[in-house]
């Protein structure tokens, strides 16, 4: 089964590019930029960073980003992720980036997006992987700052497929960003939002995503299972979930495998993703393996997870169909 998982053509839909900053690259960028890090070695840095909740995770997460300063830094970050993804047979990735985590430190929006975009174009050409960018707003900052960031993104509109919402959900409900997301919709962006797991008011927040924001997809979102009317509405709209099991295992009480099983059984379009793989030590293959170990998935279940992912991806229909055919071919010959 490990071989089947390794070879499966994959689609990654919940991946923060800043969360792919491996300590080795962090040290290299620090040196290149003349930044002194608080820890002498990669091992020391890893050992010093501990967290058990979304809030505590985010502290070290944002601190680490200080090494990202120049266009080549963002290029190297994204290219390294895409090369790693290719090694796991990821065929297509939708990549979140957090411009405000950089503009708030004085790094221009233009530097961030140009580096990421150049890496995607190079990787498409040289590695054969395809990728698109999703711009996330930081929900613990003001709606005004999110709106200003949305406006700043408009000249780069063709390089961004949609917008999302991440960072600390506590006290920062979807409705806080109602106007920002309405404007993003008007500008032609697709919409998603983090509905982090086991947060205060999770069900209310997911309900707001449906009724107020009108999301096209839900990031995480397993607490929808707590409310049967939510489940019905999500089924009716055919919305997908980007679940991140190993990440959930770090910041909640488990990897939520049973919830993934229930979602599959309900015919919900659930997918398995990696979130912040450099921090949670698991890229998409390891996430699929973790769920398989917990649930003893069949090859059909595993193929279904990737089928769901290509289906709910923000690709043109014809491109999706190409990947789905590849997947069908793989399961027919290897399954």
For residues 106 and 240, what is the distance between their CA atoms, to the nearest angstrom? 35
For residues 308 and 56, what is the distance between their CA atoms, to the nearest angstrom? 31
Binders in 91-130 for ligand HPA, by CB under 6 A = none
For residues 275 and 46, what is the distance between their CA atoms, to the nearest angstrom? 18
Nearer to Zn ion, 149 or 274 (CB): 274
CA distances from 169 to 13, 58, 115, 203, 301 (A): 20, 11, 28, 13, 31
71 in contact with ligand HPA (CB under 6 A): no
Contact between 174 and 165 under an 8 Å Cβ cutoff? The reply is yes
Which residue's C-beta sits nearest to Zn ion?
Answer: 275
State the nearest-atom distance from the C-beta of 98 to Zn ion, in Å: 10
Pick from 76, 98, 259, 275 the residue near Zn ion by CB under 5 A: 275
Both tokens assigned to 320: 């999706």
State the nearest-atom distance from the C-beta of 287 to Zn ion, in Å: 13
Nearer to ligand HPA, 112 or 303 (CB): 112
98 in contact with Zn ion (CB under 5 A): no
Both tokens assigned to 77: 């970050």
Q: DSSP letters along 237-272, please?
A: HT-EEEE-HHHHHHHSSS--HHHHHHHHHTT-EEEE
205 in contact with ligand HPA (CB under 6 A): no
> For the stretch 192-230, what's the b/e string if a residue is b when 16 or more beta carbons lie within 10 angstroms of its beta carbon?
bbbbbbbbeebbebbbbbbeebebbbbbbbbbbbebeeb
Nearer to Zn ion, 69 or 217 (CB): 217
16 in contact with ligand HPA (CB under 6 A): yes
User: Which partner from the list Zn ion, ligand HPA, none does 167 bind, CB cut-off 5 to 8 Å by kind?
Assistant: ligand HPA
For residues 242 and 245, what is the distance between their CA atoms, to the nearest angstrom? 10
Q: 155: exposed, middle or buried (C-beta count within 10 Å: 0-12, 13-18, 19+)?
A: exposed
User: Which partner from the list Zn ion, ligand HPA, none does 196 bind, CB cut-off 5 to 8 Å by kind?
Assistant: ligand HPA
State the nearest-atom distance from the C-beta of 169 to ligand HPA, in Å: 7
Nearer to Zn ion, 32 or 176 (CB): 176
167 in contact with ligand HPA (CB under 6 A): yes
Pick from 12, 76, 94, 166 the residue near ligand HPA by CB under 6 A: 166
Reduced to 3 states (helix: H, G, I; strand: E, B; else coil), residue 68 is: coil
- Under the phi-then-psi rule, with left for phi > 0, alpha for psi from -120 to 50, and beta for the rest, what region is 106? left
Binders in 274-303 for ligand HPA, by CB under 6 A = 275-276
**Residues 37-56 as x/- pattern, contact with ligand HPA by CB under 6 A:** -----------------x--
Nearer to ligand HPA, 167 or 192 (CB): 167
Nearer to ligand HPA, 274 or 307 (CB): 274
Both tokens assigned to 202: 């999770």
Nearer to Zn ion, 27 or 250 (CB): 250
Both tokens assigned to 330: 């793989």
Give the footprint of ligand HPA on this chain (CB under 6 A).
16, 19, 54, 166-167, 194, 196, 247, 275-276
Which residues lie near Zn ion (CB under 5 A)? 275
């Amino acid at each position: 089964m490990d071989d089947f998982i390794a070879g499966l053509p994959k689609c990654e839909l919940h991946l923060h590019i800043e969360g792919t900053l491996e300590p080795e690259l962090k040290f290299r960028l620090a040196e290149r930029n003349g930044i002194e890090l608080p820890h002498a070695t990669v091992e020391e840095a890893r050992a010093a960073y501990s967290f058990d909740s979304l809030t505590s995770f985010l502290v070290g997460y944002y601190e680490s980003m200080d090494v990202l300063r120049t266009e080549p830094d963002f290029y190297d970050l994204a290219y390294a992720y895409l090369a790693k993804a290719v090694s796991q047979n990821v065929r297509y990735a939708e990549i979140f980036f957090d411009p405000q985590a950089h503009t708030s430190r004085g790094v221009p929006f233009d530097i961030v997006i140009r580096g990421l975009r150049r890496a995607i174009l190079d990787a498409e050409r040289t590695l054969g992987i395809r990728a698109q960018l999703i711009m996330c707003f930081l929900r613990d900052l003001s709606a005004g700052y999110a709106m200003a960031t949305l406006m700043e993104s408009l000249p780069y509109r063709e390089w961004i497929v949609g917008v999302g919402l991440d960072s600390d959900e506590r006290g920062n409900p979807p409705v806080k960003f109602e106007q920002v997301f309405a404007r993003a919709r008007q500008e032609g962006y697709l919409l998603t939002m983090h509905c982090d797991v086991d947060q205060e008011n999770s069900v209310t927040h997911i309900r707001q995503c449906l009724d107020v924001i009108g999301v096209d997809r839900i990031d995480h979102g397993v607490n929808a299972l707590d409310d049967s009317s939510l489940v019905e509405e999500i089924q009716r709209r055919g919305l997908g979930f980007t679940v991140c099991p190993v990440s959930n295992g770090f910041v909640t009480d488990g990897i939520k495998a049973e919830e993934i099983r229930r979602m599959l059984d309900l015919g919900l379009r659930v997918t398995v993703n990696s979130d912040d793989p450099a921090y949670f030590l698991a890229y998409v293959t390891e996430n699929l393996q973790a769920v398989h170990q917990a649930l003893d998935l069949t090859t059909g279940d595993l193929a279904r997870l990737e089928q769901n992912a290509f289906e709910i991806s923000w690709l043109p229909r014809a491109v999706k169909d190409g990947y789905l055919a590849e997947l069908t071919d793989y399961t027919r010959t290897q399954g």
